[in-house]
Structure 1
């Protein structure tokens, strides 16, 4: 049996020590949450509570999960790290591929990429991404990220993303596992 420690909404200044301790007591992995910001008024109900309200407020700590995985990976040797679930919709796939590749390399392939679309229209719009095309756009994002992470010179010409030959080095020495979660 394997055990995962979730650090959702935990104190940022304790994450590194939590990772050390989790590894010492036998946990297999750490699950890292994702939230870009807290909007005072939300346009859509939060899908994971019965009444649509969020389980956190504007003072709840959120650290970037990829940065947290890198920091925690530096003080552990066997613990794996997963995003739980990183909202892809408001991000750039090439920049994200670079970050994911870096985390995979810095943790010696102890990183799994949990992804989803995202539920809040504000996270898309305020980051410059049209909310209306989120589903198809995220499918293409996953394709781009996997392509770039595989290594070598690649190019992509899709509906939402278009780039000529490029390479990001170093590519992870093993494929980064992707896990898709959400309601859509």
Structure 2
């Protein structure tokens, strides 16, 4: 099992300190969330809290994940990066493919793309995209990005779908290794999408029990789609696991990447210095002894 550090809700400049420290401490990757903006008024409930309210303030830093990952790749050599998760249907897939391809080349194939749909109606309204078609458009966008970033370097691609349509074109640079695309979401459609077209699945912050339930469903769906033997990452963020035995149980359940936030474990009021100390402490107490 690989260890990933969450880069969520951190000041942009602090990421450039955390990334080299994470690499030195033995983490495999850093996951970066995506939030284009914070609407003052939202007409839907946040799906991951009991009261439907977001648990972060409007001014909470949410650096653009592609820019943040490029900057961190420039100050590291081995550390990998992923979006966790990119709200893909808010974006044009060709422009996204261009960014992903360039980042993959510049980082020397140290990037994976995690994608999700977004639950906020205002995000679609303000970016002039259609919330109704977000699932179908995401399916097509994933196919387009995979075609551009197939691992064959720059090559001619074309796409003719219901929502996106273009003739032969070439995007350069393009990576010499395929960029993995992982799908987020705990809903039945999200799990099906991951099993059907994803190279992996990404969880939200949730309990080990809920993770095992989702992994079991994913296993059944992958068999249903004839993809049980295809390599598949399961990237999770457990909220109620701390000890090595708990992490081993997750690995036995099928987890391949465990995403952690050490400063939430050790420091009630984390500072930049405290976060560095926490990531090193977790590496010493857990990663080194796993």
Cross-structure match for 2:178: 175
Cα offsets for 1:137-164 (capped at 9, x unmatched) = 1111111111122241111111001111
Cross-structure match for 1:53: 53
Any runs of at least 4 consecutive aligned residues in structure 1 with deviations exceeding 3 A, and if so which?
none
Counterpart Cα distance in 1 of 2:79 and 2:124: 32
Cα offsets for 1:68-96 (capped at 9, x unmatched) = 11000011011000110111011000000
**Which range moved further: 169-178 or 142-151?**
142-151
Instruction: For residue 172 of structure 2, give the secondary structure of its aligned residue in structure 1.
Output: coil
Which structure has the larger Rg over C-alpha atoms? Answer: 2
Instruction: For residue 19 of structure 2, give the secondary structure of its aligned residue in structure 1.
Output: helix
The question of 1:111 aligning with 2:114 is answered no
Residue 11 (structure 1) shift:
1.4
Instruction: For residue 89 of structure 1, give the secondary structure of its aligned residue in structure 2.
Output: helix
Cross-structure match for 2:270: none
Counterpart Cα distance in 2 of 1:177 and 1:45: 31
Cross-structure match for 1:65: 65
Structure 2: which 5+ runs fail to align? 191-290
Counterpart Cα distance in 1 of 2:163 and 2:148: 16
Counterpart Cα distance in 2 of 1:40 and 1:61: 15
Cross-structure match for 2:88: 88
Counterpart Cα distance in 2 of 1:13 and 1:164: 41
Written as runs of structure 1 = structure 2, the 5 A alignment for 1:8-157 is 8-150=8-150, 151-157=154-160
Hey, which of these two has a bigger chunk of helix by percent? 2
Counterpart Cα distance in 1 of 2:2 and 2:41: 39
Higher relative contact order (CA 8 A, sep 6+): 1
Q: How does the TM-score come out when normalised to structure 2? A: 0.62
Give the aligned CA root-mean-square deviation in angstroms. 1.0
Counterpart Cα distance in 2 of 1:55 and 1:167: 42
Cα offsets for 1:39-80 (capped at 9, x unmatched) = 011111111212211121111001111111100001101100
Counterpart Cα distance in 1 of 2:69 and 2:114: 13
Residue 168 (structure 1) shift:
0.4
Counterpart Cα distance in 2 of 1:138 and 1:28: 27
Cross-structure match for 1:5: 5
Residue 114 (structure 1) shift:
0.6
Counterpart Cα distance in 2 of 1:48 and 1:174: 35
